[in-house]
Amino acid sequence: MTMLDQLLNFAPKIPIAEATKSTTEWITDTFSFLFKPIKQYFGDFMEVSSDILMSVPPIIIILVVAVIAFFISGKRFGLAAFSIVGLWLIYNQGLWDHLIYTFTLVLISSLLSILVGVPVGIMMSKSKTAEAIITPVLDFMQTMPAFVYLIPAVAFFGIGMVPGVFASFIFATPPTVRFTNLGIRQVSKELVEASEAFGSTGAQKLFKVELPMAKATIMAGINQTVMLALSMVVIASMIGAKGLGREVLSALQRAEVGSGFVAGLGIVILAIVIDRFTQSMNKKKAS
Amino acid sequence: MPLIEVKELSKIFGKQIKQAKQLLDEGSTKSEILKETGCTVGVSRASFSVEAGEIFVIMGLSGSGKSTLIRLINRLIEPTEGNILIDGEDLSNMDKKALRKTRREKLGMVFQRFALFPHRTILENAEFGLEIQNIAKEERSKRAKEALEMVGLGGYLHQKPSQLSGGMQQRVGLARALANDPEVLLMDEAFSALDPLIRKEMQDELIDLQAKMKKTILFITHDLDEALRLGDRIALMRDGSIVQIGTPEEILVSPANDYVEKFVEDVDRSKILTAQNIMKRPETINIDRHGPRVALERMREEGLSSILVVNGNRDLQGYVTADDALDAIKKENSDLRDILRTDIQRVEKDTTMNDIFNIIYDSPIPVAVVEGNRLDGIIVRGAVIAGLAKDGEVSFDNA
């Protein structure tokens, strides 16, 4: 028995945790000149964005959302009616400001994910090597428990909205990358050949043929990304991100089932509205 | 100088290209190379040239390398070795920019499954080749509209491809290729996805368009009937190699090897073979020099019941029968003109057997093949049947 144990003990414990720690510390120290202004300006930017949205009377936001919902769902009333009732309910429960913070967090981190994810996906679709390298990285990003990202996020950006965006960016970007790659690879070979046979440059092929053809798939990926970003709001609240997530968290800490349910319901309503919005945009463009 | 010249063009797919190339040069076959190196020979040292204004058909069964070959010509697939000259310019060592320019200006392509862009309207599809050359909107839509008019789709500008039938979609594909006004049209099984009636219609239209526009067309097909209808010349491919190049008649009448022969044996010969292919050298007598006795003697020698009569220029005058000649001899009449019959059926050299059938059916005497008035040959009934019944197989499909 001891002999067998010794077989496994041929090497001392590999200091992965220590290495990670020192690497993170090194990054924090070395790039603090970068992280500080990001935290500063980006944080300010998010505060200002939230403040602007909050300065708009809720009734106007609700109506605007309802009107947009009416048009993007093909002039049907279902989504518009749901938006009005749902958003009003959140207002009614006194969660309006939290809703705005959550929405800002989701919006900004999703935009960031799309901004980075789509180009990375394109790169992946164009190169087998890139695909071979990026795929395991994406798997890692998605399977590592999301809480783990909070630790370096705090190290880099302190607490608040910015590390929240950072953590949800890492957690939510993979679907956009994957679906962009998939969408472009799925474009029929003959269409790609057609665009090449007429003398397209690489960029013309991408923008005139591949991206338009892959749009529906990419939009499906973006929808996933937005949903994942939303699922991060509760986790991000643990490092000080404001919003509905913080309400859920504090209800959890105080074991208040009622207010926890209400805040959770707010997230559900927001999720449904955002999901239907992104899906309708996709359907409209695809048809 | 030919417009397209392809020299020793090869494509090998796989990893051990170098080794495979060497084996190919040593004359190994496709299957030997596959066994030896794991490489697939797509096209093996194909050489041919196409004259301006010609329809050159490349035909072969699936897997024969014909689709690879056409893609080598505009370098959608990079050749392993060999040269492609268009207008004297070698595409095979052009840089990307020059290649793009050649593709834009000289080469149009039409695809088997149309390859229309589903997110664009018909007009936008036809405009595509011009759009990527950054031609101004007005100019390109004018030229695209002209191309669509030409293929008979002027009224569908703002529909999406999915709203059109297959035949119409391929017209759009053709218009898209024509809008650039390229010298060369590469057509990859362009009509194979269409149903037979539409296909025939499109073939006719292509021939009409070709007559009007004088494009040089490289047409890929697996359908021999289509090849024979369209091709000025046909190249037959097998296992990546070209086994025979020739006019439709040459391919049918003198197949280069068993493979070609096998390929062509199912063809409905009556539509392809012409009078020229089945005529015989005629036995004749000269109206100015010969009399009934000579006529009768010649008929006896050849075992004929009638003989054609010509003058000194070999212009066909008519024929005399053995019975009439015998009568004339008994009556001591020595002028052939008195017994000359002129009710002989005449056909031109390029009359198809299909038409000869109807003529010879109720003609007791052979049919004369003439060029103007000059006699070139005769067709006897037996030859028609023999022409159709190559290798003992008779096909009377369209007789």
User: How far A203 CA lies from chain B's nearest CA (Å)?
Assistant: 10
Q: Is the pLDDT of residue B398 over 50?
A: no
Q: Which residues contact B22 (CB under 8 A, 6 or more apart)?
A: none
Q: Which residues contact A273 (CB under 8 A, 6 or more apart)?
A: A65, A69, A79, A82, A83, A86, A87
Residue B252 CA to residue B176 CA, distance in Å, equals: 34
- pLDDT value of residue B396: 41
Q: Any CB–CB contact under 8 A between A203 and chain B?
A: no
Q: Is the pLDDT of residue B363 over 80?
A: no
- pLDDT value of residue B288: 84
Mean pLDDT of B324-350: 85
Tell me the pLDDT tens digit for each residue of A114-131: 999 999 999 999 999 999
Test B118 with A195 for CB contact under 8 angstroms. no
Q: Low-confidence residues of chain A, pLDDT below 70?
A: 1, 284-287
Test A197 with B76 for CB contact under 8 angstroms. yes
Tell me the pLDDT tens digit for each residue of B183-213: 999 999 999 988 888 888 899 999 988 888 8
**Cβ-based interface (< 8 Å): residues of B facing A:** 71, 74, 76, 100-105, 107-109, 111-113, 115, 117-119, 128-129, 131-133, 176, 180, 186
Tell me the pLDDT tens digit for each residue of B24-67: 888 888 888 888 888 889 999 999 999 999 999 999 888 889 99
Express as a percent the part of chain B with pLDDT over 70: 95
Q: Any CB–CB contact under 8 A between A201 and chain B?
A: yes
Q: Which residue among A191, A200, A212 places its CB closest to the CB of B132?
A: A200
Amino acid at B255: P
Test A191 with B115 for CB contact under 8 angstroms. yes
Q: Any CB–CB contact under 8 A between A190 and chain B?
A: yes
- The ipTM value here is 0.77
Contact by Cβ (8 Å): B147, B178:
yes
Length of chain B: 399
- pLDDT value of residue A287: 44
Which residues of chain B are within 8 Å of residue A196 when distances are taken between CB atoms?
Answer: 76, 103
Test B186 with A209 for CB contact under 8 angstroms. no
Decide yes or no: CATH 1.10.3720.10 for domain A31-286. Answer: yes
Mean pLDDT of B245-264: 82
User: How far A138 CA lies from chain B's nearest CA (Å)?
Assistant: 30
Test B132 with A204 for CB contact under 8 angstroms. yes
Q: Which residue among A188, A201, A212 places its CB closest to the CB of B100?
A: A201
Residue A248 CA to residue B59 CA, distance in Å, equals: 71
Q: Which residue among B76, B105, B131 places its CB closest to the CB of A196?
A: B76
Q: Which residues contact A62 (CB under 8 A, 6 or more apart)?
A: A83, A84, A87, A88, A91
- pLDDT value of residue B390: 56
Q: Any CB–CB contact under 8 A between A191 and chain B?
A: yes
Q: Any CB–CB contact under 8 A between A52 and chain B?
A: no
Find the helix or strand (DSSP H, E) in which B50 lies.
strand B40-50
Strands B4-13 and B81-86: antiparallel
Q: Which residue among A193, A204, A208 places its CB closest to the CB of B76?
A: A193
Instruction: Count other Cβ atoms within 10 Å, centred on residue A148.
Output: 12
Q: Any CB–CB contact under 8 A between A194 and chain B?
A: yes
Q: Is the pLDDT of residue B365 over 80?
A: no
Q: Which residues contact A188 (CB under 8 A, 6 or more apart)?
A: A213, B115
Q: Which residue among A195, A197, A213 places its CB closest to the CB of B119?
A: A213
Domains and CATH numbers, chain B: 50-81+94-268 (3.40.50.300), 276-392 (3.10.580.10)
Which residues of chain B are within 8 Å of residue A199 when distances are taken between CB atoms?
Answer: 100-105, 129, 132-133
Q: Any CB–CB contact under 8 A between A44 and chain B?
A: no
**CA-wise closest residue to A65 among A84, A91, A86, A92:** A84
Q: Is the pLDDT of residue B394 over 60?
A: no
Q: Is the pLDDT of residue B294 over 80?
A: yes
- pLDDT value of residue A1: 59
In chain A, where the domains are located: 31-286
Q: Any CB–CB contact under 8 A between A196 and chain B?
A: yes
- pLDDT value of residue A199: 92
Which residues of chain A are within 8 Å of residue B131 when distances are taken between CB atoms?
Answer: 208
Tell me the pLDDT tens digit for each residue of B112-157: 999 999 999 999 999 999 999 999 999 999 999 999 998 888 888 9
User: How far A165 CA lies from chain B's nearest CA (Å)?
Assistant: 35
Tell me the pLDDT tens digit for each residue of B58-93: 998 888 899 999 999 999 999 999 999 999 899 988
